[in-house]
Structure 1
Amino acid sequence: RRFHAETGLSPLQWLLHQRVNRARELLESTDLPMEQVARLSGLVTTDSLRQHLSRRTGLTPSAYRATFTRRTDREGSVASSGIRT
């Protein structure tokens, strides 16, 4: 009850949000294969990654990566190809 009072989420919901946020970071900033993104974010499988990311963002992992990949411009600064949700 205390956790829910502090965060507004159940412990499982909070954990899933953290894992999806980590997956989003990895999709935006790396070229890792989807299997590695799923594993490193704690979502374990590509099916789980797809399900949770799609539910949260409305995009598949591939579509999310294509939309929000960070690219380095000629001056070395990071640019994003989309607006973060």
Structure 2
Amino acid sequence: MRHLDEPLTVADLARHAGVSVRTLSRRFHDETGAGPLQWLLRRRVERARALLETTTLPMDQVARARGLGTAHSLRLHLLRRTGLPPGAYRSASSRLTATAAH
């Protein structure tokens, strides 16, 4: 989790785990229900969502800080996960937070 913002490949993860890529992929899927790269992308998007909810950082900074690269990449992945682009997600999240505070 500490390295989600870094470029990671399945080969990097397998090497770190001391197993083959095939073994890592199989075990990862058995444990999480997703392949390593899908799991990694989900965690990155979750962490980007948290930044969007709690900061006013520009989209490019959010994307880079969470390993998604560019604001365009953040937009594509967030749209797939939530149906909202980053700006709309941030606005909706701040409205929900304000409503919950009252």
TM-score (norm 1): 0.82
Matches within 5 A, 1:1-85: 1-69=26-94, 80-81=97-98
Higher helix share: 2
Would the alpha carbon gap of residues 81 and 10 (structure 1) be closer, same or farther in structure 2, given more than 3 Å must change? farther
Structure 1 vs Structure 2 CA RMSD: 1.9
Task: Give yes or no for contact 1:38–1:49 (8 Å, CA) kept in 2.
Answer: yes
Percentage of pairs with the same residue: 63
From the two aligned structures, give the one with the greater strand fraction. Answer: 1
Write out the 4+ residue segments of structure 1 that deviate beyond 4 Å after TM superposition: none
Greater Rg over alpha carbons, structure? 2
TM-score by length of 2: 0.69
